Amino acid sequence: MSARVLGLELRRSAALWAGLAVAPAALTVAQAGNGMAVVIGDQRQALILMMPLATAVGAWQARRDRRSGTSDLLGTSPRPAWHRYAHTAAALGIGVVVAYALILVVAAVFAARVGAHYPVDYWVKSMIVTAWLTAAVLLGAAIGRAISWVVTPPLAALSMLVGLTAIALFTDTEVGPGPHPGTWLLPPAPSYDSYITLLTPEAARAQLVWAISCAAAAGLLYVATRWLPLVALGVAGAGLVAAMTLLPEYLHQGVQMDETAVVPVCTPEEPVVCALRVHPLVLDDLRGPGGEALTALSERLPNPPNRVEEAYYSWTGYPDPWMPEPARDVVSAEIYTDGSGRLALTPTETLWSVALGAGTAACPNVPQEMWDRDATARVVAAAWVLQETPPEPDPDGYFNWIPPPNVTRPAYEALLGLPEDVQYAQVAAYRDSALACTGEDRLALLLDGES
């Protein structure tokens, strides 16, 4: 490899444009407040856009000789053609990798400034994304060299976009034993991968092996003369076989909980509110409404909770979700964060989120036909604790799941119509049931005292 020629290609080829192909990844920096796992996860999904762009740039670069009319001149040079292509391929690869690395560094700096979480496999996931980007730009170059038409770059990009979109739309990633674990080998990752999960070592190795072998095969296809296309196919095939043997038996077994991400970070003084390790900035926003809700709960409930913790759950433990154990003295509040890692709820929404279900988390095992009744019970219990009328549903906001007022308000008034000691007793019974997540009709328990 000639450093002089490589430098020349970096300056004068489409290597810089290849770097711009990863621009969609820059948008994910806005998620840095939620930790690097979210950033990388979003970047993985952004491959649907980045890979077609990289393919187009590679195909454009590969048409340079045709565009420039240099085939006679370069075809009579003593140096084998693959030397030229290898330097161009290296420049394209470096363009993509450096641009993506810069974005990662910027995101990491933002994440570090807000104290967001850096799981170790942040590097592994980013290497997988890098390998896919490199594979895309080199595959584009191989296509552009083989089919040197003006329309090749846009057609190659469009084909890649359609292919990846179809994969995203039609791949079965439902939780459970159904989906094939090979889904992990597709560029956009299954949605199991979240801010509190890590790839298992097996799944990470399988994805890395497959993505790198695809990049190597695409590179060989681009520089190929004579027998090298067969070697490229061999490399891709060997990578696929190796990856398949590394994959877990079921799709959902490709991720595991990042137990360090869900460690609670709490305020040192009363009221005690806690956020997940990945969302340290939430504490400032949660303290006021969380404390107000704790006060209301302590005034209305026997054995009231004394702290609020950010809720979480993950299907990594299928068939049971991974979620905090219900505890009488802890409210597990379902809250949302924005890209900067701050609370995405208004103080009122936060207050209600803590008071929902009289300070209990939603149970994961509610049958679908009972969802509306369970939701109504949760809202009515919160309204009783806060002594406020149930809010109206907000299609675009946090309250989008709340049943309409003609359901919640009659139920709330029915509860208020009961004698006061009965109200206290039935709310306490409701709370016991919600903490135990037993399969009862909790709206009936709340309003009638029996399910």
Site of interaction with another protein (CB under 8 A) = 2, 4-5, 8, 12, 64-65, 68-80, 84
- Least spacing, CB of residue 88 vs another protein, in Å: 11
- Least spacing, CB of residue 204 vs another protein, in Å: 40
Would you say 79 or 113 has its CB closer to another protein? 79
Would you say 8 or 327 has its CB closer to another protein? 8
How many Cβ atoms are within 10 Å of 268's Cβ, its own excluded? 5
Which amino acid, residue 382? A
Alpha-carbon distances, residue 22 vs 98, 211, 262, 361 (angstroms): 10, 17, 31, 40
- Least spacing, CB of residue 172 vs another protein, in Å: 46
- Least spacing, CB of residue 66 vs another protein, in Å: 9
Q: Which two tokens stand for residue 143?
A: 């296509």
User: Would you give the DSSP letter of residue 389?
Assistant: P
Would you say 11 or 113 has its CB closer to another protein? 11
Nearest to 354 by CA among 299, 405, 419, 289: 289
Q: Contact, 180 vs 251, CB < 8 A?
A: yes
- Least spacing, CB of residue 91 vs another protein, in Å: 13
Q: What beta strand segments (E) does 350-437 contain?
A: none
Would you say 9 or 374 has its CB closer to another protein? 9
Nearest to 351 by CA among 415, 403, 308, 397: 308
Rounded-to-integer distance, Cα 211 and Cα 206, Å: 9
Rounded-to-integer distance, Cα 37 and Cα 107, Å: 11
- Least spacing, CB of residue 219 vs another protein, in Å: 20
Would you say 80 or 417 has its CB closer to another protein? 80
Rounded-to-integer distance, Cα 212 and Cα 300, Å: 59
Would you say 16 or 26 has its CB closer to another protein? 16
Q: What beta strand segments (E) does 350-405 contain?
A: none
In this structure, the strands spanning 197-199 and 264-266 are unpaired
- Least spacing, CB of residue 18 vs another protein, in Å: 15
